[in-house]
Structure formats: C-alpha cells, structure tokens
A = this chain, B = another copy of it.
Amino acid sequence: MKRPDPFQALCPTRRILDRIGDSWAVLILIALGSGTLRFNALKRRIENISQKMLSQTLKSLERDGLVRREVFATVPVTVEYSLTDLGRTLSQTVNQLTLWAEAHIGEIEAAQQRYDRGEGATEPEGRAAGGC
C-alpha cells in the first residue's frame, strides 16, 4: 500500500499540515484545549484576532470536525465552542509542539544571534532573550 507523501502538493496529509500552518487555527485549538468558550470570550483570549478571522477559522474547524458549535436560544443568543474528541487529540499533539518551543526557544535565539554576528550585522543588537 502507498503511504501518503507530504511532498506531493495534493496529498491529504499536506492539507492537514496546511491547517496547522494556519496560526489562528492553532491558537484556537490551544485556547479551546482548556475548556468551552463563547465567541467573544475566545476573541478576548486571543489578542489581535479580528472577528472576521475568528468566525471564519471557527467555521472551517467545525467543518473539519475538530470544533463543536452549540447555539442556545437565550436573548441575546449564546454560542459555545468546544473541542470534539478528534479536536482534542489534535490539540494535544499540537501541545507537544509548544512544549518543544518552550524547551528550545533559548537555543534558537542563541543560534540566531550567533548567525547575525557572523554575517554583516552592523547594528548593535539590544534584544533581550527569554519569556514573554
């Protein structure tokens, strides 16, 4: 049997990779990883996301079966978003990535400074490394 080849542009696996490539989608997955959230709560949680991108990304995540959308007929209407079982497994996998990032961010920044020092970096760099 043939395994999916991510190097071929039309490969389904490639499509998943592209979804991960969507920064907003990943942030939503992470945000919902710690529990159900309403639309505006999600918007407040993820700094700088526009409501357009939020609703658009949520819709495509729902379409992929990763996020569940529940509407409650209150006044005004209430909409809750949560991860499906499938979404939860992806969210956990993505979390591995953020763990890697947190563990290795220091090495990466060190490498960058080394690199920039080797090439024609004429600017006196004053960047502070470390957490947020």
List residues of chain A with CB under 8 Å of any chain B CB.
1-18, 20-23, 26-27, 30-31, 45-48, 62-66, 86, 89-90, 93-94, 96-98, 100-102, 104-105, 107-112, 114-116, 130-132
Contact = CB atoms under 8 A, between A and B. Distances in A.
B3 A102 contact: yes
Number of copies: 2
A78 B115 CA distance: 21
Given A16-B98, A17-B101, 18 more contacts: A2-B132, A4-B131, A4-B132, A5-B132, A8-B132, A12-B101, A13-B102, A16-B100, A16-B101, A17-B26, A17-B98, A20-B97, A21-B26, A62-B115, A65-B107, A66-B108, A94-B97, A96-B96
A93 B96 contact: yes
Grouping DSSP codes into helix (H, G, I), strand (E, B) and loop, the A interface class, with mixed when no group exceeds half, is helix
Contact of A6 (B6, B30, B90): B30
Contact of A97 (B17, B62, B130): B17
Contacts of A108: 12, 16, 64-66, 86
